[in-house]
Amino acid sequence: MLFRQLFDPETSTYTYLIADEASQIAVLVDPVLEQVERDRQLIKELGLRLGYCLETHIHADHITGSGKLRELTGCQTIVPFGADAVCADRKMQHGEVLQIGSVEIKAIATLGHTDSHLTYLVNQTHLLTGDSLLIRGCGRTDFQSGNAGALYDCITQNLFTLPDSTLVYPGHDYRGQTVSTIGEEKKYNPRFVGRDRSDFITLMGNLNLPNPKKIVEAVPANQRCGQAS
């Protein structure tokens, strides 16, 4: 398996390139519109063909590059089941698997940041958590039908039950961190350590964070797979 972590500095967004080296079919997870040419160039240099763009959720902080990439490459766009994105070619549900040669990408429901959010477990070792579980943090729950209780349940029941060695690759990081593990997050994540469900809901309800700068333009654009209206 080929695995690369790519970064958009403007929005602190991580995009992930995954490929089956035998078939040379590639997958991009959470591509950013402004980085489409970067991603296309890397895929070309590595001798790959883009087969799919996967979204963890409908983003509020950047516009996805999936629609543009579909236009340029003919790839399929995939979003979580329940996402308001009629533009997508396919919607994945909890437990569903996308098989790319020897690469298995399993969808795990991680609702709470939004009401339709998936984490992708790649070959049982690499966990792409989007905006659900972050390194020493988690996604906010105060807009886009967020639900702190649902986020707590999904992370503790669906993610923290995975092997401690599972690598955690988040959708964002604002402190220069790139990867963690399930074991580390269970032990050191301040949003969860020593907190029960009720404590977590209270904490998340009192963050008082400003809205993402691009929320007004990003959400409707991403409901169209990043394409202009």
Phi and psi angles of residue 41, each rounded to the nearest 5 degrees, phi first: -65, -45
Task: Record the tokens describing residue 152, joined without a space.
Answer: 């707590």
Residues whose CB falls within 8 Å of the CB of residue 185, separated by 6 or more in sequence, listed in order: 133, 135, 136, 160, 168, 192
Domain assignment of residue 130, given as a range: 2-209
Whether 217 maps to a domain, the answer reads no
Q: Is 16 left (phi over 0), alpha (psi -120 to 50) or beta?
A: beta
Residue 201 pLDDT: 98
In a domain, 203, yes or no: yes
* CATH number of the domain residue 52 falls in: 3.60.15.10
In a domain, 215, yes or no: no
Residue showing tokens 């990867």: 179
Q: Is 7 left (phi over 0), alpha (psi -120 to 50) or beta?
A: beta
- In whole angstroms, give the CA distance from residue 18 to residue 2: 6
Q: In a 10 Å sphere around its CB, with 0-12 CB exposed, 13-18 middle and 19+ buried, how is residue 65 labelled?
A: buried
Residue 219 lies in a domain: no
Catalytic residue IDs: 57, 59, 61-62, 113, 131, 172
- What pLDDT score does 214 carry? 86
In a domain, 91, yes or no: yes
Domain-located, residue 224? no
Residue at 218 is within a domain: no
Cα–Cα distance, 215 to 100 (Å, whole number): 33
Number of domains in the chain: 1
pLDDT in tens, the chain (229 residues): 999 999 999 999 999 999 999 999 999 999 999 999 999 999 999 999 999 999 999 999 999 999 999 999 999 999 999 999 989 999 999 999 999 999 999 999 999 999 999 999 999 999 999 999 999 999 999 988 999 999 999 999 999 999 999 999 999 999 999 999 999 999 999 999 999 999 999 999 999 999 888 888 999 999 999 976 5
Ramachandran class of 90: left when φ > 0, alpha when ψ lies in -120 to 50, beta otherwise: beta
Q: Is 6 contained in some domain?
A: yes
Q: In what order do the strands lie in the sheet with 180-181?
A: 97-100, 103-109, 118-122, 126-130, 167-170, 180-181
d(CA 1, CA 37): 23
